Amino acid sequence: MKQESRFFKQVKLKLSSAFKRKKKDDGISGSKIFLEPEGDYGKAEDLANVWSLDKADSSVAEDSSKRWPRLALAVSVFIVIMLFVFLVLPRVLPGFFKNTDIALFVEKDPELVYDDTYRVVKVSASSVMANDDITSRRITQVLMNEPVHFLSDDCRNGYVLIRTMDNIVGYVKGDELNTDMSSCEPDLHLFKIVVADISKRVMSHASNGTLICEVTMNTVLYADVKRDGVYQVQLPNGESGWISSSGVIELGVNENTDVVGVRYFVSSALTMVNATYLEGGLTKRGISIQGLTYVSACVNGIPIPRELKDQINCGEEVTLEYDAVTGELLPESIIPGDIVFLADPYNPTSKVPYEAAICTDTGVLLMRASTGTSIKLCKFNADSDLVKRIITVRRIFS
């Protein structure tokens, strides 16, 4: 270790002597190492004087005659792009992506069916009267959300003249109609809901809501929201409500109810047993046999007229069978689902239909009770008085 220390001291001494000799040979003193520069080095220069720059030289003047054509070209290109985006593409894209999955995401304009010459029923059922008087004959009823043609408001007692979609002309209360047709415009909604039960409640909320209204069999509503067990439907009074999915038929907005078997027609008719009889009525609060036939047939896929005089020509005429010996009618020739048209009991030979009955089982008819106040099931056989009143029997469900 001592030998190594002595070696490093000698190297350090030699290096120090060589450095001192170098400084002496270069003429550099210890007190002043660097010389002062001569001249105006480091002084700020005036660029305007040195380079002779003025305002005209510091910018490039552009010829205006060259600028305007380029500006016009840019504007023209912009207009062409906008026209292509907003006019051409909306027309081309739907056809280009038709029948593909992408077509589902291309929104199309809704096709509106009803204009300002239509009105929509905003109550559960509105009576169509023969005259603008509450004491006149009730022809039929129109149901909630049903569109009608508006003909005139030059009427008495708050009535307006309308024509139903199946061409029945009569008078209804003006305050039972609404001018806003959005609730029955198919293209504005996602689902078509047909009430198949005798009646359904429309509630303010999907669960634990309050009652908004009650709708009856064959009422058609349109829904925008479907949840587990409920639909949100739009009502003609501007509100929306919730209806349970039980006892309703879900369809596409432009679809019609499928035709079902005759037993479903009979089941629908039987829901009105013991209901109050109302001439021209369509609801459980008051219904006629022709009204019951109409709603039961429509809700099961076969639309028929509302009035008795037109129903007598529906379906196929049934050939009645009679006993070869006695000549009496065989009741089994009238089967469930057949509509029996009867003459006036005081004029049994008349060919003008006075009332109707629906066969629900062999030898059983659903018809107006003898008291005229309700709908009852009545048995008949070959000896019954009503057999003599039969004008014709029609079969609307095969």
Domains of the chain plus CATH, in order, are 118-180 (2.30.30.40), 183-251 (2.30.30.40), 256-398 (3.90.1720.10)
Separation of alpha carbons 249 and 191, rounded Å? 10
Name the percent of the chain lying above pLDDT 90. 70
Tokens 């432009």 label which residue?
254
- Give which of 263, 295, 270, 261 is closest to 367, Cα–Cα: 270
Separation of alpha carbons 298 and 235, rounded Å? 21
pLDDT digits (tens, 9 = 90+) for 189-229: 999 999 999 999 999 999 889 999 999 999 999 999 999 99
Q: Work out the pLDDT band at 28, boundaries 50, 70, 90.
A: very low
pLDDT digits (tens, 9 = 90+) for 82-141: 877 777 767 766 666 555 555 545 556 789 999 999 999 999 999 999 999 999 999 999
The larger pLDDT score, comparing residue 310 to residue 68, is at 310
Has residue 314 got a pLDDT over 50? yes
Separation of alpha carbons 140 and 288, rounded Å? 9
Separation of alpha carbons 56 and 71, rounded Å? 25
pLDDT digits (tens, 9 = 90+) for 324-368: 999 999 999 999 999 999 999 999 999 999 999 999 999 999 999
Q: Distances in Å between the alpha carbon of 21 and those of 27, 28, 117? A: 10, 11, 119
- pTM of the shown model: 0.74
Separation of alpha carbons 348 and 389, rounded Å? 5
Q: Work out the pLDDT band at 293, boundaries 50, 70, 90.
A: very high
Has residue 278 got a pLDDT over 60? yes
User: For residue 22, how far is the Cα from the chain centroid?
Assistant: 103
The pair of three-digit structure tokens given for residue 216, joined into one six-digit string: 């009856």
